[in-house]
Amino acid sequence: MEKVILLRYGEIYLKGKNRKYFEDVLIKNAFERIKEYGVKIEKIAGRFVVTNVDENQDIIVEKLKKVFGLISVSIAYVMETNLEKIKDFCKTISLDGSFKVETARADKSFPIKSIEFSAIIGEIILNNNQNLKVDLHNPKHIVDIDIRENGKTYVSFEKIKCLGGMPVSTSGKGILMLSGGIDSPVAGYLMAKRGLEINCVYFHSHPYTSEQAKQKVVDLAKVVSEYSGKIKLFVVPFTEIQERIHFNCDSEFTITIMRRFMYKIAEMIGKQNGCSCLITGENLAQVASQTVQGITCSNSVIEQMPVFRPLISFDKNEIIEIARNIGTFEISNLPYQDCCTVFVPKKPIIKPKIADCIKQESKIDDIEELIEKAISNAECIEI
């Protein structure tokens, strides 16, 4: 009996005439993750089927669990939709404890309705397993029978939960301000879940920040890419800009002015690379620069892009839980500091005003040249 992997999607069902586009992107994304195993993916009504899975089924399932757009996968046995053949297969099923049968009869030409067919199959399985009982409410096993319109029936025993969301790239492309902290990788993950392709920008202040700090961010981007697909990481040399801010601006404004430079640079790099939005890991009131006034001052330098802050209302423990689940938390906790720890003032301003920020920036000569130099010297790392 051939084994396949059934893929089920969620929100795409809500799409109208453009549903095929979302399905095609989802198939492409799924195939990219598992093509090295020589598999094929075919589309049937409401499902995708992975064939040629052989002995790699468990590895393939683990990779598919990270594909946004899928809500569940199942390792299934496939057979012709024929009453006697289905019955014969179900006679071989060996279970213990409790079970129930669930039937999805997408093929309405099949003559037996779902509830009745579940009862027929349940009786067969029960008769062939001595230490088994029926439990319709909290069974140990669920035998799932999926009768599809393609003339095939798929029998599986577990629906393995996936991440849901939308297929990556169906919502466009965004530029993520990626630091070495806990928050920004989680922000990138969440926006990829909503269908954004992710590029990243990291600000590196050598020699104040080490090569280990840079590698830490590369490693974080690698983890995020397991969910988002390929990433371009732009490493921007930020030392000269930070030194100019430190030596020319009032100390309480240094963090706010630094953030404004970062926003400008990130937007420009994003536009050069086809991005239509900026993503940050900002969280309201978490640090001094993330007050309403601080965020307003940073945001005011953005000319064209919306700024998405998926973590803006999250509790820190909620962010940490996601970071642990996706595999970034331990990397983020490595003791290599990013540029945000350089020249930190003792008393940063909590409620800056845009006019005061502009006044502080006027103390720095050649701002545009500094920005252009940083961008032209940025390193692009493909992950």
Q: Which pLDDT tens digit goes with each residue over 10-28?
A: 999 888 889 999 999 999 9
User: Is the Cβ–Cβ distance between 200 and 233 less than 8 Å?
Assistant: yes
Q: Dump pLDDT digits (tens) for 29-74.
A: 999 999 999 999 999 988 999 999 988 999 999 999 999 999 999 9
Strand segments (E) across 135-258: 141-147, 152-156, 160-161, 173-177, 197-204, 232-237
Token readout for 101 is 């049968």
Confirm if 44 and 104 have CB atoms less than 8 A apart: no
Q: Report percent pLDDT > 90 for the chain.
A: 88
pLDDT tens across 140-188, in order?
A: 999 999 999 999 999 999 999 999 999 999 999 999 999 989 999 999 9
pLDDT, tens digit, 9 for 90 and up, residues 242-279? 999 999 999 999 999 999 999 999 999 999 999 999 99
Q: Look at residue 176 and give its three-state secondary structure.
A: strand
Q: How far are the Cα atoms of 238, 295, 367 from residue 281, in angstroms, in the given order?
A: 19, 12, 25
Residues 292-321 pLDDT 10s: 999 999 999 999 999 999 999 999 999 999
In this predicted structure, the answer to whether residue 341 has a pLDDT above a threshold of 80 is no
Instruction: Measure the CA angle with vertex 8, ends 5 and 12; round to 5°.
Output: 150
104: tokens are: 């999805």
**Per-residue CA distances from 175 to 206, 239, 313, 369, 375 (Å):** 23, 21, 21, 22, 14
pLDDT reported for residue 54? 85
Q: Residue 88: which residues within 8 A CB-CB, separation 6 or more?
A: none
pLDDT value at position 337?
Answer: 72
Domain(s) of CATH 3.30.2130.30: residues in the chain: 2-161
- Amino acid identity for residue 356 in this structure: D
Residue ranges, CATH 3.40.50.620, the chain: 173-382
Instruction: Note the Cα 381 to chain centre separation in Å.
Output: 20
CATH class of 2-161: alpha beta
Environment class of 10 (CB within 10 Å of its CB; exposed 0-12, middle 13-18, buried 19+): middle
User: For the chain, how many residues are written?
Assistant: 383
Per the CATH hierarchy, to which homologous superfamily does domain 173-382 belong?
A: HUPs (3.40.50.620)
